[in-house]
């Protein structure tokens, strides 16, 4: 039966839009094979459900109008496809962490804690190494010097450099300065001053080399009996007196090497003696205060006073080599204590210049003294008292052994009071 062109066009419009039966069967076989061979169990179940839903849409299309069947089939396939994409995205992508925003100092007036910026070594084109000072060190030095002027420290009135008798000869004053530094090891300045006064008042003929050669060791030991390790220091002083008489014409050495060669004299004593007795600044005298405080400031990271001396001498101006010891010893005796630092009273903490400053009020401490024990020191029993400082707020416990009643650290200083 022949039909016109208009009739054929009309028939094509109302032709069912669902795929032929052969195409559906081919699609089912491919999807089922993939689900059976490659996908995991969960994927196979999901794909099988998709196949069933696809079949259901085709079945429905045969019993519904052509246009409605086509629309339902497309919506069902779009829904399934959209679900698969969402699940894949949420499984494989990890969420990004939001960047941490720091407060804006200009907008909010927030001052961040000082950072450790130690001295840096820079190698030049010719191979020479130059040391760049820590950033802002001059400001830290100036503020510390200003604080020292407001508070009088024991080193200001009873330091070893000020204990020599002004009425004695230059040779005797140099000797007294050296002996004072020898006595100050592991001893408070107040105790050292008392021992020096005993020697000046009770040595026959006054405090000079000849009197040290003549005095009996037992008498000398009794005169300095309050200092730490007085038995050892008695032997050292007697040996030094003999060496000065035999090798140095009765005077103390005028070189660092010569001073270090004496028994009981270390690098710190040698450099301080050269500066105080001879007026020559050959190096920095670094004791526990200088070593500890400069590390707290972040100027360097050292483990021994000698390493600290080398680091400081690499960049600190030479005109400050003599003063820095006196400056930091007094600062460590009054504000920056070994235990119980008073950061609330320190201008460096207020100016955010000290990276080791402890913010807030000092923690509550409880101090107790434990039983006095005996420590053997080269055949000598030395009384040792242990001070235990307990922090009730954060559970910090600090123990300090005072090796004698004249040790360098004061129990009151250890307690932070």
Residues marked as catalytic:
268
Place of tokens 């409880």: 366
Q: Which of 340, 329, 359 is nearest to 400 (CA)?
A: 340
Secondary structure letter of residue 228 according to DSSP = T
d(CA 256, CA 416): 37
d(CA 165, CA 216): 22
d(CA 195, CA 186): 14
Secondary structure letter of residue 359 according to DSSP = P
| C-alpha to C-alpha distances, 207 to 103, 111, 168, 176, 178, nearest whole angstrom | 64, 56, 9, 7, 12
CA 192 to chain centre: 33
- Which residues, in sequence order, are bridge partners of residue 401? 386
Place of tokens 């006054």: 206
**What is the gyration radius of the CA atoms in the chain, in angstroms?**
43
- Which residues, in sequence order, are bridge partners of residue 123? 129
Dihedral of alpha carbons 34, 39, 41, 44, sign = negative
Q: How many C-beta atoms surround the C-beta of residue 133 within 10 A?
A: 16
């Amino acid at each position: 039966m022949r039909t016109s062109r208009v009739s054929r066009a009309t028939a094509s419009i109302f032709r069912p839009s669902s795929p032929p039966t052969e195409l559906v069967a081919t699609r089912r076989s491919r999807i089922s094979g993939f689900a059976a061979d490659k996908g995991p169990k969960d994927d196979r179940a999901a794909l099988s459900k998709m196949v069933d839903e696809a079949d259901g849409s085709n079945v429905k299309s045969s019993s519904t109008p052509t246009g409605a069947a086509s629309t339902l089939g497309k919506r069902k396939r779009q829904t399934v496809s959209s679900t698969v994409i969402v699940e894949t995205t949420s499984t494989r992508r990890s969420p990004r962490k939001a960047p941490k925003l720091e407060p804006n100092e200009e907008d909010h007036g927030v001052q961040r804690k000082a950072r450790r910026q130690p001295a840096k070594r820079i190698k030049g084109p010719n191979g020479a190494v130059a040391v760049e000072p820590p950033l802002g060190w001059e400001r830290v030095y100036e503020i510390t010097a200003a604080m020292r002027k407001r508070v009088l420290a024991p080193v200001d009135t009873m330091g070893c450099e000020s204990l020599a008798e002004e009425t004695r000869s230059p040779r005797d004053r140099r000797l007294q300065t050296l002996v004072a530094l020898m006595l100050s090891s592991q001893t408070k300045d107040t105790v050292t001053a008392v021992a020096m006064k005993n020697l000046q008042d009770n040595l026959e003929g006054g405090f000079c080399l000849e009197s040290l050669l003549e005095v009996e060791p037992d008498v000398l030991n009794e005169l300095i009996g309050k200092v730490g390790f007085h038995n050892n220091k008695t032997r050292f002083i007697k040996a030094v007196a003999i060496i000065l008489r035999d090798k140095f014409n009765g005077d103390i050495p005028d070189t660092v090497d010569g001073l270090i060669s004496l028994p009981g004299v270390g690098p710190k004593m040698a450099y301080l003696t050269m500066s105080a007795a001879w007026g020559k600044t050959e190096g920095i005298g670094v004791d526990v205060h200088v070593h500890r405080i400069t590390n707290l400031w972040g100027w360097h990271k050292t483990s021994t006073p000698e390493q600290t001396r080398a680091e400081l001498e690499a960049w600190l101006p030479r005109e400050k080599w003599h003063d820095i010891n006196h400056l930091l010893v007094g600062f460590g005796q009054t504000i920056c204590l070994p235990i119980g630092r008073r950061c609330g009273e320190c201008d460096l903490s207020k100016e955010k210049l000290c990276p080791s400053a402890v913010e807030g009020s000092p923690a509550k401490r409880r101090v107790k003294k434990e039983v006095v024990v005996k420590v053997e020191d080269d055949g000598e029993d030395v009384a040792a008292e242990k001070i235990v400082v307990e922090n009730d707020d954060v559970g910090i416990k600090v123990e300090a052994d005072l090796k004698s009643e004249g040790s360098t650290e004061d129990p009151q200083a250890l307690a932070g009071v």
